[in-house]
Structure 1
C-alpha cells in the first residue's frame, strides 16, 4: 500500500490536493474492479497549528493532520507538497519539516510551486526539477544548485518527482500510478477521468512536444512513446509492426488490446493533437504543421480536421489560437 501524505500549505489552489486524492481513489476502484487490492491511501496535512487549510478561492478544507502532529522520524511512503504556501514563516516551517522527514521517505513529490519548498529544504540540490513556467527563472536564481528543467511538465530524478503548473500534477500522478500499478491500470484511470495517460503531441510546458517517460511500461507502451517522439516518420501499421518485430496482423491485435484502439487510430489521435497544439500556440504555416505532424501536406491536415472536428485548420486557429498570435 502506497500512502500519500498530501501537504497543503495555506492559500493553495485546493483543486491540486483534492484532484490528486480523487485520482488515487479512482486507481483503487479500478484495481478493485480487476480483482486486485487497493494500492493507495492518503491524508491531507495542513502546515499551520490547526486543521483548516484556506484556499486562494476562499474555500477551505479540513486536513486530517498538521505537520506539528506528525513526527519527522516516521517512515513515509510518499510525501507530496502541493504549492509554495504563503509567507516566509510557513515556508521555513514546511521546508524544515521536509528536510528532517525526507531521509525516511521512499518518494518525494512537488506540484507547481511546491518545488520551491523542496529546494529550500535542500532536497533538489544537484537534481533535475521543474515548476510552473512563469517561475522557472526565479527557481533557478534562488537555488542555483538545482538543475531546472524548462520543458517537461513533470520530471523524475531518482525518488524525487516535480511537476509544472497545477494540472500537470495530474499527469505526474498518472505517471506514478503507471510506475506502481502498470500501464493498463493507469490508462483506465485516465480514461475514466477523460484524461490523456500521456498528452499526445507533447508534454512540453506551454508549447512544444513532450519527451515520453523513460519508465519501462512494456512493448506497446514503449512503442507509443516511440510514436510520440517523431510523428513525421513512417507510422504505418507495417512500419510499426516491423518496429515491434511482429506480423502486421498479430501486431494490430496486440496493440488494439493494450492501447484500447487500433494502431492507425492511435497514430491519427497523436498527430491531430499535436497539430492542434501547434495551431493554438504557434504561427507556423499550415503546410509546415502538416509536415511536422506526419500529415504530409495541408490538404491531408484539412481533411482530418474537417472529419474529426468539423473545422478547417485555419478556422480552428482563429477560434482557439493564442491571443498574441492574432
Structure 2
C-alpha cells in the first residue's frame, strides 16, 4: 500500500517577539477517516498554508493558521487512493473547539457517519467551534451528528448561505468546492486581496469566479477598509501621523473608525500605531549604533525622553537596557 507522510498545513514560522502580541493564531481542524478524499481535504489545508505564506511576508501578520489533520485514533489514515496521511487523535484537548472544523468527503463518509466515536466527538466540539463545514460527502457525517449547515451560514451571512445552496445543487469538482469555504475564512481574517491571491495561485483558471462568489463587488467592505488603514499605519508609523489621518485613509468618520478598528483588530488605532513604532524602535536598538534620541525621531516616537517613558511603561526596562539584553541574546 502506498505511503506518503503528508503533513498538515501549519507553517514553521514563528513571529518575532515584537510581533507576537499582535498575531492571532487561528486553529483549523480537518477531520479525516479511512477512505476520505485527499483532493478535497488537501486543497483546504493548502488554502490556509498559502494564506500563511502571503501573510507572513507582510511587515505584520494579522493572524496565522495552525492546521491539523485529525482522526478517531490518530496515526496514519488511508485516503480513497490508499495514500496514508498522519493525523492527531480525537481527545479532550479539542473540547475547547476550533476557529474552523472541516469534515472530509470521500467514499468513506458513509462508514464514518456510523462511527459513534466520530458522531459524539462532533456533537461535543461543535458548540464551541466558530465554523463547522463539510467537504462534499462529509455532510453525511455532519447529518449523522445532527449538525446542519446553518452554523456557518448564521456566522458568515449571505455569502456563506449562497455557498451552501450552491454545494447542495451539485457543484462540479471537489477541488473547486472545497476551496470556497476556506477562502471565505481567509477573506474574513486577511481581506479580499489575500483571498484573491490565494485563489489565483492555487487555481488560476477559476480565481475570478471564486472571488466573485466570495462577495467582492468591487467596493471594499468596512473590514477591508480597516485592514487597509492598519497597513497604512504600519507602513507610515515612522512619520508624524495620527489616528485622524488613518480615519481619512479608511474614508470613515473618526468616531466610526475608532469603533470599527477595535472590532476588527482587537486594539485601538493608537495602540496599534504605538506597537508598530515600538517594533521599529526595537529593531533599530538591536541592529544599529544610533543614539536613543535619534532612534526616537526615526521611529516616530518624538524624542528620547518620551521613548524612555514608553519603554519603562510597556517593557519595564530602559531603551539602553533593551539594547544590551537583545544583543546578548542574539550572541547566545
- TM-score, scaled relative to structure 2: 0.48
Structure with higher helix content: 2
- TM-score, scaled relative to structure 1: 0.49
Highest relative contact order (Cα 8 Å, sep 6+), 1 or 2?
A: 2
From the CA coordinates, give the structure whose radius of gyration is larger: 2
